Structure 1
């Protein structure tokens, strides 16, 4: 009985160690990518205190967002660059951070980020190539 208990506990400890190593590797990889930044996210479906910590990254055509506390290899959310509109921006209590309300199509969501990341976001949106067939 003691041997089985030891094997089970050892297996659980090994699984926890492997999960922690994979999570650490994932976060280092995401944080080290060009165009990545710390970014909290809350959608209109989330409760008022439903902020989720994550990493945002500017792609060629989309803004990608990965949850911090996940082992997923794919982004949790992404929004098309051409559909993304900044509705409002306001400073947060935490110095150097801003709350950004965005819309992508019918979806309304909020992001928290540093002022520098916000400057990057606005530049990234403004630098989007004009869509074919779009009348200005």
Structure 2
């Protein structure tokens, strides 16, 4: 009967190890069903990164459009709510650029960096594929007439 307790213990540990993976897969599926997603890394600002560490501060994620908002989710998270929402109104693109040498290793391949300020004046850097950059800029420019989008 001693072995029965060991088997139960192993099954409990196995269930606890598998449960986060199942939740992660369910979250990813739920996010994909609620709108098309694209790979999008995020860096809020370089001020919060470790001083002297080039390329630091990037978080891998996915983004999707939801009306007048861009919702950004961390890739490795169990949260069903977006970590960041960027509204179309008041968002200004400062520049688009290629990642520098230090950033290349932290980002997905062939991504471009879009530097912008949101409605609150916070500087945000997004890294996404070229087609996604085109879609993002088009989405910003397609704002309703009463909004002002400086290019």
1:88 and 1:131 map into 2 onto residues whose CA distance is 24
Aligned to 2:13: 12
Aligned to 1:102: 116
Which structure has more relative contact order (CA 8 Å, sep 6+)? It is 2
> SS of the residue aligned with 2:77?
coil
Distance 1:28 1:5, change over 3 A: same
Alpha-carbon distance, 1:17 to partner: 1.1
Alpha-carbon distance, 1:30 to partner: 2.5
Structure 2 length-normalised TM: 0.76
Q: Please say which of residues 4-13 and 83-92 is displaced more in the overlay.
A: 4-13
1:21 and 2:22 are equivalent in the alignment: yes
Aligned to 1:71: 78
* Structure 2: tracts of 5 or more residues without a match: none
> SS of the residue aligned with 2:115?
strand
Structure 1 length-normalised TM: 0.83
Deviations 1:56-96 (A, max 9, x none): 11111211000010000100111111022111111235763
1:120 and 1:4 map into 2 onto residues whose CA distance is 57
How many residues align structurally?
Answer: 133
